[in-house]
Amino acid sequence: ILRDGRWLTRLSNLRICDVPVQGDILFTSFKPGLSFGDSIRCIMKLRGFSAPGNPGMFDSRTWYHRKGIFGRGYPVTPVEVVGRRSPTLQSFIITLRKGLLQRIRSRFGDDAGLIAAVLVGRKDGLGEMRESFSAAGLSHLLAISGLHVGVLYLIMVSLAALLPWRWLRKIVVLM
């Protein structure tokens, strides 16, 4: 899942005018209960990405094609889950991340967007704050994701384990 309701989906067993088609698309569905690894069935409207309208505009078609994504899909019939893949490490991490995001949103209110951006790497909740960071020349700070914070924490804990006094270890880790 990329964002709430937006999925990067691998198409298989798809036929357009009796011609088999394969590839990745951005699939938008707000069906509750969809999880990473679900196999779904529905009739969807597929669209390609349009070329930029003016010279110098962002070329989303080329950008998505470089990532191997060739279109967008919108369901026109109800989405039916026809199979679920057994849990994997990736699905566990996605579920853990979603749970952490829900906790952040419920506990931090207006500040949840910034906290989610720094701890988990989700920048879609920043809104105007993202523009403020950019205008102030601080947008590079938003590049610090949960992975970077986690690696930094791991290094601090590892170094603190080498300290001789237990109370000093706790102070270093809390910093």
Structure tokens at 108: 């931090």
Contact call for residues 75 and 26 (beta carbons, < 8 A): no
Query: pLDDT (tens digit, 9 = 90+) per residue, 153-164?
Result: 677 777 777 766
Query: pLDDT (tens digit, 9 = 90+) per residue, 45-101?
Result: 888 888 888 888 889 889 888 888 888 888 888 888 888 877 777 777 777 777 888
* Residues 6+ away with beta carbon under 8 Å from 173: 156, 157, 160
* Confidence check: pLDDT of 1 > 50: no
pTM: 0.51
Does 32 or 107 have the greater pLDDT score?
107
Mean pLDDT of the chain: 76
Query: pLDDT (tens digit, 9 = 90+) per residue, 99-123?
Result: 888 888 888 888 888 878 777 777 7
What length is written for the chain?
Answer: 175
* Confidence check: pLDDT of 146 > 60: no
